[in-house]
Amino acid sequence: MSDQTPIQAEVVIVGAGPCGLFQVFELGLLGIKAHLVDSLKSPGGQCTELYPEKPIYDIPALPVCGAQELVDRLMQQIKPFGAEWHLGEEVTGLQRQADGRRFTVTTSGGTVFDAGAVIIAGGVGSFQPRRLVAPGAEALEGRQIHYRVRDAQQYHGQHLLILGGGDSALDWALDFTGKAASVTLVHRRAEFRAAPSSVARMRELESAGQLAFHEGLVDGLEIEGDVLKGARIKKPDGSSVTIACDQAFAFYGLHPKLGPIAEWGLELEKKALKVDTEKFQTNEPGIFAVGDINTYPGKKKLILSGFHEAALAAFGVQGWLYPEKKQFLQYTTTSPAMQKRLGVAG
């Protein structure tokens, strides 16, 4: 425990991904100010850290939106509400206080909060990409071996090797085709975890000779000096093929860890926090969970779903913090109070 004076907070939001950011907005509309804590050093969660340029197509009113663009738009949207940021800190402790109504929240940076409510928006928890395991791979990370795409244009005109069978691998294989000198996709089996439409398009490009696909696993790297020249792929029949490449992208998914969240006495189901669907509260009154970290019957891990959860959780938090206050639904188009909070009142 830190010796510093606790920060008085109406709400502490654990996690600053898209759902955590939108939670600030929904709370702000109700006049509730939030503090955000995230172990990453910048807002955005997976969107910023793993696939900032990946296109997203299912955000309402935005036919297509880059992942980082979505984060930037959310940051602009929540600006009127003056959220306070505590980045590069992991929440390490969460305890209910003696009065039963407030919580002591502590972080790895020594920050202590005296919070009225807590909303966990931690995505899949603390995460790291699953790395390419091969001799010499670690030394090439960030130069020629990558686990995310930050600036896609710099790889145009190069020979690219893409490893994996999920949405990220297929999305980038399709995106780079026609822009890179060559694109080779490698997956350990012929079946994919990606959207069927993406798989169908990949097969079309493969048939047209615009993209190459190999079933197999990386068996070693071809390195000259400190420069990656290619990768050896071991196929299911035991044979091997060497793929020349300038850059390799490994999209093997995330290695999620709940970390301290698993020790807070909250009810879990398959490493996710069980919540109700009225206010997305956990089994502990005053502690809520939104986004990929929660589970309930019919749960769909979509950003869209997380936004809906954040809206209802905000009302749940308001009811918890101010039980004597009558709740009623207001609309941003007609509510003078909400328009004043948004800074758009005439």
**Cα gap 56→103, rounded to integer Å:** 36
Out of 45-59, 149-163, 166-180, 297-311, pick the least confident. 45-59
Q: What phi and psi values does residue 90 have, to the nearest 5 degrees? A: -105, 135
| Segment (H or E) for 34 | strand 34-38
pLDDT at 253: 77
User: Confidence band (pLDDT; 50, 70, 90) for 122?
Assistant: confident
| Pair 98, 183: CB distance under 8 Å | no
269 strand-pairing partners: 272
162 strand-pairing partners: 185, 249
Instruction: Tell me what the mean pLDDT of segment 191-219 comes to.
Output: 95
SS3 for 66?
strand
DSSP secondary structure letter of residue 288: E
Tokens of 191: 């079946």
| Pair 252, 83: CB distance under 8 Å | no
CA–CA distances in Å: residue 63 to residues 48, 60, 175, 249, 304: 20, 8, 17, 27, 14
Whether pLDDT at 217 is above 80? yes
Instruction: Tell me what the mean pLDDT of segment 71-75 comes to.
Output: 96
**Cα gap 142→97, rounded to integer Å:** 45
For the beta carbon of residue 312, count every other beta carbon within 10 angstroms.
Answer: 18
Give CA torsion, residues 12, 308, 320, 88, to 10 deg: -10
**Complete edge-to-edge strand list for the sheet that includes strand 217-224:** 217-224, 227-234, 240-244
pLDDT at 298: 96
| Pair 240, 233: CB distance under 8 Å | yes
Higher pLDDT among residues 3 and 341, named by residue: 341
pLDDT at 64: 95
User: Confidence band (pLDDT; 50, 70, 90) for 42?
Assistant: confident
Tokens of 312: 């209802």
**Cα gap 139→133, rounded to integer Å:** 12
pLDDT, tens digit (0-9, with 9 covering 90-100), for 315-330: 999 999 999 988 888 8
Whether pLDDT at 125 is above 60? no
Of the candidates 300, 301, 299, 277, the residue with the CA atom closest to the CA atom of residue 288:
277
pTM (predicted TM-score): 0.69
For the beta carbon of residue 56, count every other beta carbon within 10 angstroms.
Answer: 17
Q: What phi and psi values does residue 247 have, to the nearest 5 degrees? A: -140, 145
In order, the DSSP letters of 82-140 are --EEEET--EEEEEE-TTSS-EEEEETTS-EEEEEEEEE--TTSEEEEPPP-STTHHHH
Higher pLDDT among residues 261 and 37, named by residue: 37
pLDDT at 128: 64
pLDDT at 54: 82
Based on C-alpha coordinates, what's the Rg of the chain? 23
User: Confidence band (pLDDT; 50, 70, 90) for 1?
Assistant: very low
1 strand-pairing partners: none
Domains, the chain, in order of start with CATH, read 7-127+255-342 (3.50.50.60), 131-252 (3.50.50.60)
